[in-house]
């Protein structure tokens, strides 16, 4: 028996005698959404990346760390943000597909029509949602800005004035190359799993 319409949408009470399969699917549905919310709401990851970068620059200014090590650590923290974002996006897509299946089991064609075009249908795009693209962009921006700052401060003067090369100045760029390899590996694994 339909409940009173809310906002023009007629709702139905769930069946009172749900079997084990229905109970399982409904419990799984709730957990899948919890998982999606946990991955989407991890706003502390970008804040941590920015905070760590600012703290590292502060330590450089106080001469506790050198710019080479600080830049290397900022690249590593940025990579951490990017790979976690790729992983979260993979879990989001996986859970979204299962949620769509469960919606397809429980919702009628009429329900799907009333609720919207995307209910009961898996995401067709493999492109990460905007939230994850923004987080990845922040990670890449921090990495590029720190590497550019380091290059201007530590490497460029050697080209201008000559002198004996200091190979420790190239450590951050080794980290950038390593980070690119890690990001590529995680990205390719996320597409195959």
Rounded-to-integer distance, Cα 140 and Cα 142, Å: 6
CB 88 within 8 A of CB 132: yes
Residues paired with residue 106 on neighbouring β-strands, in sequence order = none
pLDDT at 10: 45
**Residue 3 placed within a domain:** no
Cα dihedral 140, 78, 147, 138, rounded to 10, equals 30
Q: Where residue 30 falls among pLDDT bands split at 50, 70, 90?
A: confident
Percent of the chain exceeding pLDDT 90 equals 39
To 10 degrees, the CA torsion angle through 67, 58, 132, 37? 140
Q: What is the DSSP letter of 62?
A: T
- Of the chain, the percentage scoring pLDDT greater than 70 comes to 81
Model confidence band, residue 16 (pLDDT cutoffs 50, 70, 90): low
Residue 75, in any domain of the structure: yes
pTM summary value: 0.76
Phi and psi (nearest 5°) for 6?
-120, 125
Would 14 be classed as within a structural domain?
A: no
Does residue 98 lie in a domain region? Answer: yes
Residue 15 maps to a domain: no
63 φ, ψ (degrees, to nearest 5): 60, 30
Residue 193: what pLDDT? 67
Q: Do the domain assignments include residue 11?
A: no
Is residue 1 included in any domain, yes or no?
no
Residue 4: its pLDDT value, please? 46
Residue 6 falls inside a structural domain: no
Helix, strand or coil for residue 162?
coil
Least confident of 40-54, 81-95, 109-123: 109-123
- Report whether 49 contacts 142 (CB < 8 A): yes
How many domains are contained in the chain? Answer: 1
Examine the pLDDT at 73 and tell me if it is beyond 50.
yes
What does DSSP assign to residue 31? Answer: H
Full residue range of the structural domain in which residue 79 is found: 20-192
Residues 6 or more apart whose Cβ sits within 8 Å of residue 85: 45, 128, 132, 135, 136, 139
Q: How far is CA 186 from CA 11, 59, 76, 90, 189, in A?
A: 43, 31, 14, 10, 5
């Amino acid at each position: 028996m339909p409940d009173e319409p809310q906002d023009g949408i007629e709702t139905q009470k769930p069946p009172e005698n749900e079997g084990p399969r229905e109970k399982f699917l409904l419990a799984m549905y709730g957990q899948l959404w919890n998982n999606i919310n946990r991955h989407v709401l991890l706003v502390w990851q970008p804040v941590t990346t920015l905070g760590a970068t600012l703290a590292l620059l502060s330590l450089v200014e106080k001469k506790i760390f050198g710019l080479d090590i600080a830049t290397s650590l900022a690249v590593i923290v940025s990579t951490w943000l990017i790979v976690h974002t790729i992983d979260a996006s993979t879990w989001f897509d996986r859970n979204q597909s299962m949620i769509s299946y469960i919606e397809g089991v429980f919702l009628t064609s009429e329900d799907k029509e009333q609720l919207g075009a995307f209910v009961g249908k898996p995401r067709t795009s493999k492109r990460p949602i905007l939230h994850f693209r923004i987080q990845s962009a922040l990670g890449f921006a921090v990495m590029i800005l720190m590497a550019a700052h380091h290059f201007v401060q530590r490497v460029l003067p050697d080209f201008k004035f000559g002198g004996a090369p200091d190979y420790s100045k190239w450590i951050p760029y080794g980290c950038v190359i390593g980070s690119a390899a890690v990001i590529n590996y995680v990205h390719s694994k996320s597409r195959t799993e």
